Amino acid sequence: MTKPYVFVTRKLPEEVIAPLAAVAEVGMWPHEDVAVPHEVLVEEAKKAAALLPMVSDPIDEDVLAAGSGLKVVANMGVGYDNIDVPAATKRGVLVCNTPDVLTDTTADLTFALLLATARRLVEAAEFLKEGKWKSWSPFLLAGADVHHKTIGIVGMGNIGQAVAKRAKGFDMDVLYYNRSRRPEAEEKLGAVYRPFADLLAESDFVVCLTPLTRETRHLFNREAFRQMKTSAIFINAARGAVVDEQALYEALVAGEIAAAGLDVFEKEPVAADHPLLSLPNVVALPHIGSATYETRRAMMTLARDNIIAVLEGRSPLTPVNE
Ligand code: DGY
């Protein structure tokens, strides 16, 4: 019997792929740092029973229509806004993601970004390397305190709660906004629910961790930034398109908020001449929330295991649309 074909959209380590290769013929895009062109993905889908894409690969109607033999799309990421899930479901294709394994790592990065933005770490490091340090001076590169301030978390899923836990260690007051109330976060972490507008008005740090959906696209618009304190620091570690970037730029330039830390952008990779990157009070990172060796391996392993389970006729471990 011929083995089913699986296409992996980036070069992943041999030892991660080996168990998959035992049950399937595996085709792999040979580059680690270059995304697979969409037309190649469509061609590969034609013969595939399973796809293992990255969060940056659009799995749209074209790919799904080409993949008439597709059983499962196992995304390497917790977010799956790159996949047309309703279209996949209609075609009977399972969609899986990689929750839990990246929660703490992404919360660490989110908090690091918050600290870096508040304490101007990137600016300070560049200042030093450029030979600009002439003397210790009272307000040299002074930033904002983090401890004992109020953090407002928008999107209180697992990562939001892990960020809240870290914030508690900094003696912060934790507010949150979520589609549904999170009693466990209220009890265990002392997080306090606020309607969106109240959270914006009361928080010193507004942290976006909500998934990108039709409802959350451009949730952070000019109006939202206007409702924040002028001293507020905005952090986005979710998806770029949850933010209207033009509105964020205008809010920063107009002094309506103080600074922003961004790990994600509407269009990735973001262009080096993007206006937001020109602002000294923006700390920008290339979507590295879950990027540690341990966590990236755990993510690829879970994506792989989802495919093996489906190919062996078992239920996937972490389905999105079952
Ligand atoms: C995810 O898993 O959705 C992250 O954004 C990828 O690091």
- What's the rounded mean pLDDT across residues 159-183? 98
How many residues are there in the chain? Answer: 322
The DSSP line for 198-226 is HHHHH-SEEEE-PPP-TTTTT-B-HHHHH
Do both 251 and 218 map to the same domain? yes
Question: Residue 167: is its pLDDT beyond 80?
Answer: yes
Distance 76 CA to ligand 1 centre (A): 8
- pLDDT higher than threshold 90 for residue 231: yes
pLDDT band, residue 290 (cuts 50/70/90): very high
Say if residue 97 is in the same domain as residue 151: no
User: Quick check: 16 pLDDT over 80?
Assistant: yes
What distance in Å separates the CA atoms of residue 136 and residue 156, rounded to the nearest whole number?
A: 41
Q: How far is the CA of 102 from the centre of ligand 1 (A)?
A: 8
Given the CA of residue 97, which atom of ligand 1 is nearest to it? 2
| 265 found inside a domain | yes
> Do residues 170 and 179 make contact, with C-beta atoms less than 8 angstroms apart?
no
Run of H or E residues at 306: helix 293-311
Distance of CA 211 from the midpoint of ligand 1 (Å): 10
Q: What is the largest CA-CA distance in the chain?
A: 75
Q: Whose CA is nearest to atom 4 of ligand 1?
A: 77
- 36 and 11 co-located in one domain: yes
Q: Are residues 97 and 107 in the same domain?
A: no
Q: Is the pLDDT of residue 177 over 80?
A: yes
Q: Same structural domain for residues 95 and 118?
A: no
* 60-76 mean pLDDT: 98
Q: Quote the ligand 1 centre to 99 CA distance (angstroms).
A: 9
For the chain, the domain total comes to 2
- Note the pLDDT of residue 226: 98
Is the domain of 53 the same as that of 118? no
Residues 137 and 232 in one domain: yes
Same-domain pairing of 82 and 39 = yes
**List of residues 6+ apart from 84 with CB closer than 8 A:** 59, 60, 61, 64
Indicate whether 302 and 257 sit together in one domain. Answer: no
60 found inside a domain: yes
Percent of the chain at pLDDT exceeding 90:
99
Which residue owns the Cα nearest ligand 1 atom 2? 77
| ipTM confidence score | 0.95
Give yes or no for residue 208 having a pLDDT over 80: yes
Which CATH number does the domain housing residue 277 bear? 3.40.50.720
Rounded CA separation 302/116 (Å): 31
235 within a domain of the structure (yes/no):
yes
Atom of ligand 1 nearest to the CA of 98: 2
Q: Which of 75, 81, 83, 102 to mutate to test the pocket of ligand 1 (most atoms within 8 A of CB)?
A: 102
Q: Domain range spanning residue 236?
A: 103-284
Q: What is the pLDDT of residues 93-126, one digit of tens each?
A: 999 999 999 999 999 999 999 999 999 999 999 9
166 pLDDT higher than 80: yes
What residues act catalytically? 239, 268, 287
Looking at ligand 1, which atom is closest to the CA of residue 289?
7
Q: Say how far apart CA 199 and CA 201 lie, in whole Å.
A: 5
Residues 89 and 119 occupy one common structural domain: no
Query: Could you tell me if residue 151 is inside a domain?
Result: yes
Binned at pLDDT 50, 70 and 90, residue 1 comes out as: confident
Is position 318 within any domain?
no
| Global confidence as pTM | 0.97
